[in-house]
Structure 1
Amino acid sequence: MKIALILAPYDSGHFHGGFGQGPEALISGGLSEALTYAGHDVSVEDIGKVGDEQQREIATGFAVCSAVANAVRQAREQDRFPIVLAGNCLTTAGSIGGEDSDAIVWADQHGDLNTPETSVSGFLDGMALATVLGLCWHGMTKGIPGFRAIEPSRCLLIDARDLDPGERELLKTLPIIRSECADAVAASAKLKAAGAQRVHMHLDLDVHNPRKLQANRYVSEGGPAPEQLRQMACSLAGALPISGLTLSAYDPLFDAEDEVPPIVGRLLTELLETLEGRKAEVRQDPKVEANR
């Protein structure tokens, strides 16, 4: 399978700081080699520095989204499956723009559903899913090539357990599909029922149970072990038309034993194997896709 690994090494507007070190750490940890060894044709592209160094977090964050959207679309034109290794969750808005996605799976210990009106911290990444769903930052998302907000009924939110009060209230009013990791495959049927044709998969690595794997400074009890997340992601890849993938929020400072890169490598290797199997089925019998 032809793969494009697209690196977006930013954290809150800072190049190669904090989470922004994660994409390079995954590559230096052998991710590209692992996928190549598994038989894939792998290209690696780093979007590098974007925008004006004097810009603030918001401007830089959306400039990163635009750069990623262009890189993802170029990967698609080369018939490569796009995998974005991102510092920030907001970057997924760029992935969606480049893929023309119409639905999303969002696995994260946080809801990322704050808006400027509800946020008590002002943390832009805490508004990432709200941005993707068209709930805020409309002026900024207009600058992301190809971006179209996703309908909340086509959003599957998995294992979001650390929620702010404003997010809890918002979730009472929106038709977002919520699930824990163990029930995600059954819940994904609602995405297809809502008409999803191109599903982006967003995996924030802090969705893991921190007792099993800690990917960054955010710690919230519960969540899946690495093998549970891997099984879930692969099962969803077999059940849904996945258009691309974003992995975000890995901070190597909190991974003293370098556990995360090989775990991500295995996750992606098995997920891509599932996607290849799905594509082979559809090529043999297009009715398979229609009946899924």
Structure 2
Amino acid sequence: MMTRKLSIIGMPMDLGQMRRGVDMGPSAIRYAGVYERLKPLFDAIEDLGDIPIGRPEVSVDEESNLRNLDLVAEKNTLLAEKVDEVIQSGSFPLVLGGDHSIAIGTLAGVAKHYKNLGVIWYDAHGDLNTSETSPSGNIHGMPLAVSVGLGHELLTDIGGYSPKIRPEHVVIIGARSLDEGERILIKEKGIKVYTMHEIDRMGMAKVMEETIAYLKDKTDGVHLSLDLDGLDPSECPGVGTPVMGGISYRESHLAMEMLEEAKLITSAEFVEVNPILDEKNKTASIAVGLMGSLFGEKLL
């Protein structure tokens, strides 16, 4: 039998958006007991600490109007290299965010190890903006677009190759806030999306059954990118861009349990935990609980 190994990587970056606090997300998740919760589920577990971010000065690229473009590219390159090392060592990479722009680096490190990587994007947002469509210039609204090869070349070319994933290998779950440019792109590229309408109408079990069936045969690995704002803000208040009417705590546990049963997920990240906006570390604690379900924690 293969040894089950897990490597935790902290990415305390808030450069992809404007609200301070999300850089403390990895610390909040550790404080919520992620290492202790996951240790019994693996043969070996290591916490590799944080990718060094420092306190760089905020900047806006004059040509593209993208916020902190050079810094986001630089720090995501470091993350990509670390994720690549972890996979080469035979360990499962679990990245703790940080804003969702960190997915650019995670996917750059993961995708080089797969011919047809699939992605489950568990999020209230599509994160499919580019500099042309973004209302804000915030890169945390762009990582999925970047990963399918759309956007500034400093971001799309991290790791020396592009694209990282194909649009037909992506499933977005929980969407309820999409910009006009994102809607157009979803239709143009044929990206599979389960909005809250589908989740309400079909139920989470059916959504996950369809997602697993859709990805299972056409991919050789699947990355889970889970933004805590995918859940309803009444349950996860500690996020930077909350949107009412989200996925419930129980639905999310069921989704994670079904992914574990399917043995589908080969890498994962949990992002956008902002303890400054949270209530008694509630959001980080829910993130840790969902990780437990994803990695096989059972009640009986």
* Bin for the TM-score computed over the shorter chain: 0.7 to 0.9
Match of 1:9 among 9, 12, 20: 12
The 3-state SS of whatever aligns with 2:96 is strand
Show structure 1 runs of 5+ residues with no match: 275-292
CA distance, structure 2, for counterparts of residue 252 and residue 234 of structure 1: 26
Give 1:40 shift. Answer: 4.9
User: TM-score scaled to structure 2, two decimals?
Assistant: 0.82
Give 1:162 shift. Answer: 0.7
Residue 72 of structure 1: aligned partner: 83
CA distance, structure 2, for counterparts of residue 9 and residue 235 of structure 1: 29
Question: What does 1:254-273 correspond to in 2, within 5 Å?
Answer: 254-273=277-296
- The CA deviation string for residues 121-147 of structure 1, in whole angstroms up to 9 with x for no partner, is 111111111111112123433233666
Question: What does 1:148-167 correspond to in 2, within 5 Å?
Answer: 148-167=163-182
Q: Is the 8 A contact 2:236 2:286 kept in 1?
A: no
Q: Is the 8 A contact 1:29 1:262 kept in 2?
A: yes
Q: 1:239 to 1:147 in 2, by over 3 A?
A: farther
1:144 matched to 2:147:
no
CA distance, structure 2, for counterparts of residue 200 and residue 253 of structure 1: 28
The total of aligned residue pairs comes to: 272
CA distance, structure 2, for counterparts of residue 187 and residue 48 of structure 1: 32
Greater CA drift, 150-159 or 162-171: 162-171
Match of 1:60 among 65, 68, 71: 71
The 3-state SS of whatever aligns with 2:268 is strand
Q: 1:246 to 1:42 in 2, by over 3 A?
A: same
The 3-state SS of whatever aligns with 1:212 is coil
Matched AA of 1:53:
P
Question: What does 1:160-175 correspond to in 2, within 5 Å?
Answer: 160-175=175-190
Residue 189 of structure 1: aligned partner: 213
Match of 2:38 among 35, 38, 63: 35
Q: 1:175 to 1:240 in 2, by over 3 A?
A: farther
Match of 1:220 among 238, 243, 259: 243
Q: 1:217 to 1:53 in 2, by over 3 A?
A: closer
CA distance, structure 2, for counterparts of residue 236 and residue 210 of structure 1: 23
Residue 64 of structure 2: aligned partner: none
The CA RMSD over aligned residues, in Å, is: 2.4
Show structure 2 runs of 5+ residues with no match: 60-67
CA distance, structure 2, for counterparts of residue 179 and residue 166 of structure 1: 18
Q: 1:240 to 1:2 in 2, by over 3 A?
A: closer
Q: Aligned residues: percent identity?
A: 28
